Each structure stands twice: as structure tokens, then as C-alpha cells.
Amino acid sequence: MKKFWFILTALVATCFLVACSGSQGVNPKTIKEKKKIVVATESEFAPFEFKSLVNGKDTLVGADIELAKAIGEKLGVKVEFSVMSFDNVLANVQSGKADIAIAGISVTDERKKVYDFSDSYYTSENVVIVKKDKVNDYTSTDSLAKQTVGTQKGSVQETVAKKQISKASVVSLTSNGEMINELKSGQLQAVVLEKAIAEGYIAQNDDLTLANFNLKSDGSDAYAVATRKGSDDLLKEINAVIKETKDSGKFDQWLKEASTYKQSK
């Protein structure tokens, strides 16, 4: 009898732990039953995800948004976007509030310990933006010594900047748009962003330009869809969509289309 109670208690405790940990994988069956997939994303990362006025309505657009829609289509479910600051995106997947995250998320060893990632759908590169009239002053990482460099909060660029522009004071901001404004107004002397995003801001601000020096790759240049650990079946479906969108040239097409939208914030 004692043994019975012991086993029962152990069983209940295990179930409780599993249920509360939120670390169970995301099952495509459950998503199909719910008839929707919740996608955590951010909204100041053109050409991947950003807001634009479409027919007078503020609309989420970009290549990541199209990818999410294609995943929804493949699963036969509605896509519900949950927009938040970038530093909250992954945590929302971990806590179970979102099923997946698509937000230009770079795969890193650190993140792989906590999350499962799909195959990569894009390769990024870190760059430095400076004001045009300062491009001859800031010609190397060392020339930014004692200056203030901006990065997005929660992004891999925080670490990249701290390591590679180590003599500068590196600050993290939640909003990329605000970061660009601070660069323009002189509160920041440089900003580290990924190339596609930087080029978008430079195209819209003729007082900004890419610095004439490069940062080294830190090995985290692949973008992928993130989900909870143990989501193998879901990842199979997502990887099939990624393969198809890459092979058919659809992803490149979405990137091109995104650059025709004007960012509304």
C-alpha cells in the first residue's frame, strides 16, 4: 500500500512539473485543433517585419510576415501575430503564450540550449551605421573608443558590439527607430544593425551611411524560426515551407516587395 502511494505521488509530481515547466514541445495536432498558430514578432525590422499604411490601415508587412502566413497556410490554420519588443519575443515562446517566433532571429549556441530552431531561411551580416559627416572620423572599431554605440535590446548585436567595439560604451535600446533618431541627433555616434535593416534606414535618411570598416562574423548569422524544445513534428512542417519558399525564390520576392512599403513608424 505504501508503495502504491509513493508511486502515485511521484506520478502526480512528474505531471505537475511537466505541465508547469511550459517546456513541452509545440504539437502541430494541437495547433490544427485550435485552428490558429500564435506567432510572436516585433514591428521595427524592415524588410522582415514592420508596419506600413495599407489602404489607410496600419498593417504588419514584410518577408517574415509572409513566411508566417505560408506556415499558417501549410498547417491550414489562421495566423495570429503577437507584436512585442524584441527582447520579449523568445520569452513568449518559452512561456507558451506564442507557438513560434519569427523576428529575424539569429541562431546562436546560447539560444539553442533553450529553443528549437528551424532550418535557416536567411543569412545576415553585422554592419555599423554612422552619420555621413563623421564617416572619416570613425574608420575602425578603435576609433569609436569613448563614444556611445547603440544596439537593440536583446539582440545578438549587443554582444557583437561589446566584444568588437570594446572601447566604446555600448547602450541597448528597445526601438530601432528611436536608436536611429538618437544617431541622427548625436546622442549616439554609431549603431550596430544587420545589413538589410541598416540599408533600409540609410535609404530613408540621407545624413546616414555605412561605416567604412567591417565587423567580424560571430557565427550567428543565420535567421530561423524559433519554437519550444521538443517540437520535431512542427519543425518538419515549417522546414518544408522554408525549403519551398527558398527554392522557388519566393523569399527573395517577399524581401523585394517589402522594400516597396513605407515604414509607418
By the criterion CB under 6 A, which residues form the site for ligand ARG?
A: 42, 45, 49, 86, 103-106, 152, 155-156, 194
The radius of gyration computed from the CA coordinates of the chain, to the nearest angstrom, equals 21
Q: How many residues does the chain have?
A: 265
Q: Pairing mode, if any, of strands 44-45 and 49-54? A: antiparallel
CB of 143 or CB of 152, closer to ligand ARG: 152
CB of 24 or CB of 199, closer to ligand ARG: 199
Residue with cell 550567428: 220
Q: Least distance (Å) from ligand ARG to the CB of residue 137?
A: 27
Q: Least distance (Å) from ligand ARG to the CB of residue 229?
A: 18
Residue with cell 541562431: 107
CB of 28 or CB of 81, closer to ligand ARG: 81
- One-letter amino acid identity for 229? K
Q: Which residue is nearest to ligand ARG (CB)?
A: 45
CB of 192 or CB of 202, closer to ligand ARG: 192
CB of 92 or CB of 106, closer to ligand ARG: 106
CB of 106 or CB of 143, closer to ligand ARG: 106
- Residue 119's SS3 state is coil
**What cell was used for 73?**
497556410
Q: At what angle do helices 232-247 and 63-75 cross, to 10 degrees?
A: 120
* CA separation for the pair 65, 52 (Å, rounded): 12
* CA separation for the pair 157, 171 (Å, rounded): 11
SS (H, E, C) 57-118: EEEEECHHHHHHHHHHHHHCCEEEEEECCHHHHHHHHHCCCCCEECCCCECCHHHHCCEEEC
Q: Least distance (Å) from ligand ARG to the CB of residue 182?
A: 16
Q: Least distance (Å) from ligand ARG to the CB of residue 97?
A: 17
Q: What are the phi and psi torsion angles at 4 (to 5°)?
A: -60, -50
Q: Least distance (Å) from ligand ARG to the CB of residue 112?
A: 12
In sequence order, the 6+-apart residues with CB closer than 8 A to the CB of 26 are 99, 100, 227, 228, 231, 234
Q: Least distance (Å) from ligand ARG to the CB of residue 43?
A: 8
In sequence order, the 6+-apart residues with CB closer than 8 A to the CB of 142 are 167
**What cell was used for 30?**
494541437
CB of 143 or CB of 151, closer to ligand ARG: 151
Q: Least distance (Å) from ligand ARG to the CB of residue 13?
A: 36
